[in-house]
Chain A
Amino acid sequence: MTSSLNLFIGLAMGLNLLALASSRLPSVIRAAALQGMILGILPLLIEREFQWMVIVVAIGTIAVKGFVIPHLLRRALRAANIDREMRPLIAFVPSLLLGAGATIGAVALAGVLPMRPEQTGSLLVPGSFATVFGGFLLLMGRSKAISQVCGYLILENGIYMFGLLLINSTPLLVETGILLDLTVAVFVIGIIMDRIQKEFDSLDTSKLTTLRE
């Protein structure tokens, strides 16, 4: 069980690096969507017995993270008619190196933290830390609003992965609430992006520089 789980987590970690290295917006959106779908499968692998709630959450996660949100982002991309190249504030190779370094660091850090006996070989914690860091890098290192949203999604994916450690003990109600909040958040972000696009005629957030000391 752990080995197939780790395989999927490893894939998700690889997708972080893919998102960091890609220079075009559609491929970053695709990486985030694929990662979201992988996360949707994970609860089914962890849960030993069949439970309706787990199935519902898994389907909900795959639908929202894998299809709904990426669809919204692609639509924003088309509507804004923006140039699909990314404008990195941190260049691709350095961000890839940082991402790889963070992955190694996450494994080392997770080695220090004490795990429960049944979860000791699991990659959940290092995977989660590496994904959170990758999301941060994308959030800070790119100037297009859509790529920042992808960074935020990957960050949330990392946190979701950590949440799976608790899946047996906490009510799934909380997870549903979290998923709902995330969806609403992306909706709100989408609306604001739309307005920024209309107001500034661009989705390049490096143009948002009026407010400062």
Chain B
Amino acid sequence: MKELALIAVPLLFAAIAFVWPVERTRPWLLPVAGGLHVAISFWLLIAPPAPVAGAWFGFDPVARAVLPMISLLFFVCSVYAVAYLNVRTERRNRLFIFALLFLLCFLSLAVQAQHLGLLWVAAEAATLMTVPLIHFNGTARAFEASWKYLLVGGTGIALSLLGSFCLGYASLNAGGSGDLTFNALAKQFVNLSDEAIHYSHPWLIAAWVLLLVGYGTKMGLAPMHTWKPDVYGEAPGLVGALLAGGTTTMAFVAVLRVKQVVDAAGENEMTQRTLLVIGLFSMAVAALFLLGTPDFKRMLAYSSVEHMGILAVGAALGGLGIWAALFHVWTNSLTKGTLFLSAANIRRAAGGRNAGEVSGMAWSAPVSARMFVAGLFAVTACPPFGPFFSELLVVRSAFSTGSIYTAVMFLGCLLFAFFGFSRLVFAIVDGRPRTLARAEANRFKETAWVILPPLAFLGLSIWIGLATPSLLKDAWSAAVNNIFPSP
């Protein structure tokens, strides 16, 4: 029943936050709920519950491989949130805290969902809960971003519903009983008669395409990534970190679960090819835009698109590649935490966000600027940070499966992304601080509360790369074996 607590705890705290009378102390509910969530999910990581056959939701190996990361991300961000909401006392925080806790609840539900319909309901609810977080700043730009997010995200999620229906219909045509849990679906499509294949596979392929587009929109794979720069640019930094590490991870898990079913039906060549194309395309698009954008928060969005591309390529390579993708989910999300939180500090200290307005941050916000530079090296896969090791594994699995061109394109995109990234980061860190920035800097103090969370993410990113705990390695192997059993 502990896995139910992962959903109940944030729900309970959301209710408490809603009725909590004091504006100043309400943010403290976040780290308390986050801490409890981390404790439960790591407990489950160490002692996973026995799987229940036919259950609609549960802490299965896939959830075990990623959910502790989401808890950890949320917890560290929630500590930052306390400091953030204390400097933003001019905005009321009731709805913000309520929506954050609900987001955690639905992310936990979606990652643990074993049922096609339940997964969709949770993913849609998580999408909706993000909207109040995006327009927390209440500016015209924030509303524009929320509107675009609602339209693009809503359409994506609608298409994934259509895809879910197609998958359900394919299962009926193959003689299914209407059991839509992923394990039952995967079992059902194995060893079909020719007639059943004739009736079910066209629907199966339609389902894969629609679901990949639908959940790919949530992940932010190109060309469905258009909401990302707007949202990451306008949302508060900690929301960006949660979106880039939490929501996208949830969508990636959804894609993996669907791939499990479609692969079991013997269509793995198609899933691999589509994932590879869409992954490499995302990386290329992201690299191109990284070379051009002047805004450092939008830059993080393109970086996220790039890393979603890496996950898709990893998933396409199968076996070791999927293992590397799960590894990359951890390294990328934790590194993104450093980047988003330190970018939020820089944004507050500088009062601007374009390379044209911001420079000399090494003086105005020295610690945050240093962390931002360290985050740059981490996210562009320089050793000794985590992403280096996970991306190296993706490249290795590309070579071992003989996909030389994939590896070459992959490395080329990484190189261009590095150029674009470093150009912008050094433009804002180096140089002289603008006068405007200096006046703002008097108001923004780099207290321990805004420094320690991103620093913690940086430490975690190094630690997980250099000394990956064998517990996590086992969890990832178990997840890969569970959804893609090698014949």
Is B a genuine binding partner of A? yes
Q: Residue B169 at the A interface, CB < 8 A?
A: yes
Tell me whether B140 and A205 are in contact (CB under 8 A): no
Q: Residue B39 at the A interface, CB < 8 A?
A: no
Contact with A along B268-298 (1 / 0, CB 8 A): 0000000000000000000001001100001
Shortest CB-to-CB span from B409 to chain A, Å, is 23
Which chain B residues lie closer than 8 Å to A211 at the CB level?
141, 144-145, 148, 229-230, 233-234
| A139 and B154 alpha carbons, distance in the complex (Å) | 11
Q: Residue A89 at the B interface, CB < 8 A?
A: no
Q: Residue B118 at the A interface, CB < 8 A?
A: yes
Q: Residue A98 at the B interface, CB < 8 A?
A: no
Tell me whether B143 and A199 are in contact (CB under 8 A): yes
Contact with B along A96-133 (1 / 0, CB 8 A): 00000000000000001110100000000000000010
Q: Residue B5 at the A interface, CB < 8 A?
A: no
Contact of B165 among A116, A162, A181 (CB under 8 A): A162
Tell me whether A192 and B135 are in contact (CB under 8 A): yes
Contact of A181 among B125, B141, B148, B203 (CB under 8 A): B125
Minimum CB distance partner of A181 in chain B? B124
Q: Which of A30-38, A40-48, A165-173 contacts B (4 or more CB under 8 A)?
A: A165-173
Tell me whether B147 and A159 are in contact (CB under 8 A): no
Q: Residue B131 at the A interface, CB < 8 A?
A: yes
Which chain A residues lie closer than 8 Å to B219 at the CB level?
none
Tell me whether B135 and A181 are in contact (CB under 8 A): no
| A174 and B165 alpha carbons, distance in the complex (Å) | 11
Which chain B residues lie closer than 8 Å to A170 at the CB level?
117, 168, 178, 180
Tell me whether A196 and B173 are in contact (CB under 8 A): no
Q: Residue B158 at the A interface, CB < 8 A?
A: yes
User: Size class of A's contact patch?
Assistant: 35 or more
Tell me whether A166 and B168 are in contact (CB under 8 A): yes
Contact of B169 among A148, A158, A165 (CB under 8 A): A165
CB-contacts of A131-178 with B (<8 A):
132, 136, 139, 145, 148, 152, 155-156, 158-159, 162-163, 165-166, 168-171, 173-174, 177-178
**Chain B contact residues, majority secondary structure:** helix
| A182 and B168 alpha carbons, distance in the complex (Å) | 20
Contact of A174 among B117, B131, B145, B154 (CB under 8 A): B117
| A136 and B138 alpha carbons, distance in the complex (Å) | 29
Which chain B residues lie closer than 8 Å to A174 at the CB level?
117-118, 121
Contact with B along A168-202 (1 / 0, CB 8 A): 11110110011001001100110010011001100
Shortest CB-to-CB span from B200 to chain A, Å, is 8
Which chain B residues lie closer than 8 Å to A162 at the CB level?
162, 165-166, 169
Which chain A residues lie closer than 8 Å to B125 at the CB level?
181, 184
| A213 and B233 alpha carbons, distance in the complex (Å) | 12
Which chain A residues lie closer than 8 Å to B128 at the CB level?
181, 184-185, 188
Q: Residue B344 at the A interface, CB < 8 A?
A: no
| A174 and B120 alpha carbons, distance in the complex (Å) | 9
| A114 and B162 alpha carbons, distance in the complex (Å) | 17
Q: Residue B223 at the A interface, CB < 8 A?
A: no
Which chain B residues lie closer than 8 Å to A195 at the CB level?
135, 138, 143
Q: Residue A210 at the B interface, CB < 8 A?
A: yes
| A147 and B200 alpha carbons, distance in the complex (Å) | 37
Minimum CB distance partner of B294 in chain A? A213
Tell me whether A192 and B234 are in contact (CB under 8 A): no
Tell me whether B121 and A166 are in contact (CB under 8 A): no
Q: Residue B146 at the A interface, CB < 8 A?
A: yes
Minimum CB distance partner of A195 in chain B? B143
Shortest CB-to-CB span from B441 to chain A, Å, is 26
Which chain A residues lie closer than 8 Å to B120 at the CB level?
178
Tell me whether B143 and A177 are in contact (CB under 8 A): no
Contact with A along B86-122 (1 / 0, CB 8 A): 0000000000000000000000000000000110110
Shortest CB-to-CB span from B252 to chain A, Å, is 21
Tell me whether A205 and B162 are in contact (CB under 8 A): no
Q: Residue A1 at the B interface, CB < 8 A?
A: no
Tell me whether A205 and B147 are in contact (CB under 8 A): yes
Tell me whether B199 and A178 are in contact (CB under 8 A): no
CB-contacts of B413-455 with A (<8 A):
none
Known: A178-B161, A195-B135. A145 touches B141 (CB 8 A): no
| A3 and B395 alpha carbons, distance in the complex (Å) | 57
| A189 and B199 alpha carbons, distance in the complex (Å) | 39
Q: Residue A208 at the B interface, CB < 8 A?
A: yes
Q: Residue B150 at the A interface, CB < 8 A?
A: yes
Shortest CB-to-CB span from B209 to chain A, Å, is 13
Minimum CB distance partner of B298 in chain A? A213
Known: A169-B177, A192-B146, A195-B135. A177 touches B121 (CB 8 A): yes
Known: A152-B151, A181-B128. A116 touches B143 (CB 8 A): no
Tell me whether B199 and A114 are in contact (CB under 8 A): yes
Tell me whether B229 and A213 are in contact (CB under 8 A): yes
Tell me whether A208 and B148 are in contact (CB under 8 A): yes
Tell me whether A169 and B124 are in contact (CB under 8 A): no
Tell me whether B172 and A169 are in contact (CB under 8 A): yes
B162, B172, B298, most chain A CB atoms within 10 A: B162
Tell me whether A192 and B117 are in contact (CB under 8 A): no
Shortest CB-to-CB span from B50 to chain A, Å, is 25
Tell me whether B140 and A199 are in contact (CB under 8 A): yes
Contact of B202 among A113, A184, A188, A196 (CB under 8 A): A113
Which chain A residues lie closer than 8 Å to B169 at the CB level?
162, 165-166
Apart from A136-B155, A166-B178, A181-B124, 11 more pairs, CB < 8 Å? A112-B202, A132-B162, A162-B165, A163-B161, A163-B165, A178-B117, A178-B120, A185-B154, A188-B150, A211-B144, A211-B229
- Can you name 16 A-B pairs with beta carbons within 8 Å? A152-B154, A156-B158, A170-B117, A173-B117, A177-B117, A178-B120, A178-B121, A188-B128, A192-B135, A195-B135, A195-B138, A199-B143, A205-B147, A211-B145, A211-B233, A213-B298
Name B's A-contacting residues (CB within 8 A): 117-118, 120-121, 124-125, 128, 131-132, 135, 138-141, 143-148, 150-151, 154-155, 158, 161-162, 165-166, 168-169, 172-173, 176-178, 180, 198-200, 202-203, 206, 229-230, 233-234, 289, 292-293, 298
Nearest 9 A-B pairs (CB), nearest first?
A169-B178, A174-B117, A177-B121, A208-B144, A211-B230, A181-B124, A114-B199, A199-B140, A159-B162
